[in-house]
Amino acid sequence: MNNHYDVDRRGFLSAGAGAAAAALINPHATEAAPSKPRVAVGRGGVKMEPDKAAYIRLKAALDKHGGFAELVKGKRVLVKINATDKTSQDANTSISTTAATLRLIRENEAKNVVVLGQEWYGYDCPRKGRPTLREIIKKEGAELKELTHWWLKTNDYVKRVPKGGGWKEYWVAKDIFEPDTVLINVARLKTHHFTIYTGCVKNCIGLTYHMYAHHCTDDKNPKAGASDKHPARMAGWKLFPAKLSAAYHEVFQPRLALNILDADEPTYGWGGPKPERIHTFKAGVVAVSTDALAVDAFGAQLLHEDRPKVIPTALADWTVGDSVYVKANLTQGNYLAECHKLGAGQGDLGKIQIDEVSID
């Protein structure tokens, strides 16, 4: 497989991405001044109680990144988590990372906190001995605003049509454009049946009305995109990299204040492809950056280093190789690479300053 970036697997997973990347790029990197963009990584705590570890890990990463208190104090903070699956909490932003995020926002004196998104009933996904996302959002004193689904009439969205990507119509949650509003994106690191990878960039789709338009030739007919066998959807997947990258670059990137990648237990096999089944591994990691593409480059590398023959890196050719994920890639492309080409962030891990802190 054509890998854009390659570091020692054991070094990346054990010693940390920052050390491995720095050693590869420049043996004296620790002496150099930090460059932009930056990804701050909190690592460790795998033997701690999960909720405690998530809080300490995220706080450490935010402190390393800097500026969090100034970002949220006195502001209305919108939080976009991933709550797409009603059957497995492993497919959603974890309870622990969600709780840690909301608690830290509250502790840093935000005016109010709203979790919002058009999701697929994952807020109520159960797990024995654990609260649901809905319950933890309430416990942490945040409001939950479930954006109206595409089959219902609503005033939740405003029209913002990207100039690129071939878009004809695009409706986005109007809340994110309100003044004195801070948008924080908190995504689960996981694979995707049809696009290989999903993280912070792709999590923005849940802030749109006609979600399926991202992989449909008909932007104005959400029913077409929702049907697996509709010709407009079948022909539309190859448009996904260009459409999502343009939408992210023009609409979401300017509004996103911070991106948090929940990689405590990264998830494989969400929705397939066969023979993959949903499962996780313990990484004990959280990554923070103002650049969603940069944290996704980090996340893709984390998955690649865990399974180098299965998951490609962020800027690799996602159509080459024998991996079941590559073979199932209906987009016939790489949406992260398209974002990188547009200048919508930095996808080259070798050009990202990764600052790690261990909590062990």
| Gap between the Cα atoms of 40 and 33, Å rounded | 15
| Gap between the Cα atoms of 104 and 140, Å rounded | 10
Report yes or no: 156 and 209 within 8 Å, Cβ to Cβ: yes
Whether the per-residue pLDDT at 63 is higher than 90: the answer is yes
What tens digit of pLDDT does each residue of 255-268 get?
999 999 999 999 99
What tens digit of pLDDT does each residue of 140-187 get?
999 999 999 999 999 999 999 999 999 999 999 999 999 999 999 999
What's the average model confidence in pLDDT over 266-289? 97
| Gap between the Cα atoms of 231 and 250, Å rounded | 28
| Gap between the Cα atoms of 128 and 110, Å rounded | 32
Report yes or no: 306 and 299 within 8 Å, Cβ to Cβ: no
Give this prediction's pTM.
0.91
Residue 55: pLDDT band with limits 50, 70, 90: very high
3-state class of 26 per DSSP?
Answer: coil
| Gap between the Cα atoms of 111 and 100, Å rounded | 17
Least reliable range by pLDDT among 2-11, 300-309, 315-324: 2-11
Q: Is 98 exposed, middle or buried (0-12, 13-18, 19+ CB in 10 A)?
A: buried
| Gap between the Cα atoms of 215 and 242, Å rounded | 10
Q: Is residue 150 part of a domain?
A: yes
Provide the domain count of the chain: 1
Q: Is residue 3 part of a domain?
A: no
Q: Is residue 180 part of a domain?
A: yes
Q: Is residue 316 part of a domain?
A: yes
Q: Is residue 1 part of a domain?
A: no
3-state class of 221 per DSSP?
Answer: coil
What tens digit of pLDDT does each residue of 296-306 get?
999 999 999 99
Residue 224: what pLDDT?
86
What is the bridge-based pairing of β-strands 157-159 and 143-146? unpaired
| Gap between the Cα atoms of 311 and 321, Å rounded | 10
- Residue 58, domain extent: 9-355
Residue 228: what pLDDT?
84
Q: Is residue 195 part of a domain?
A: yes
3-state class of 216 per DSSP?
Answer: coil
- Whole-angstrom Cα Rg for the chain: 19
Q: Is residue 360 part of a domain?
A: no
Q: Is residue 2 part of a domain?
A: no
Comparing C-alpha atoms, which of 182, 150, 344 is closest to residue 251? 344
